[in-house]
Amino acid sequence: MRIGGLGTPELILILAIVMLLFGVGRVSKIGGEMGSAIREFRKGLRGDEKETTDDEQKS
């Protein structure tokens, strides 16, 4: 697996360094917040599509 020129060993090393710097609790909290932000963003995109479709049907 290559992401931007980084292989699996490099990504594991970066993850380990982040865990050491911030701690497991903080990293999991950040991950949870990012997940909920992505969910809200997707929900917002779907909401915009429904509103557009509803507006087109009214015309």
Prediction pTM value: 0.49
* Residue 36: pLDDT over 60: yes
Q: With respect to residue 4, please indicate whether it lies within any of the assigned structural domains.
A: no
In the chain, the number of structural domains is: 1
CB atoms under 10 Å from CB of 12, counted, come to: 10
What is the domain extent for residue 53?
31-59
Residue 24: the pLDDT is 85
Residue 5: the pLDDT is 82
Mean pLDDT of the 28-34 span: 91
Q: With respect to residue 22, please indicate whether it lies within any of the assigned structural domains.
A: no
* Residue 2: pLDDT over 70: no
Q: With respect to residue 14, please indicate whether it lies within any of the assigned structural domains.
A: no
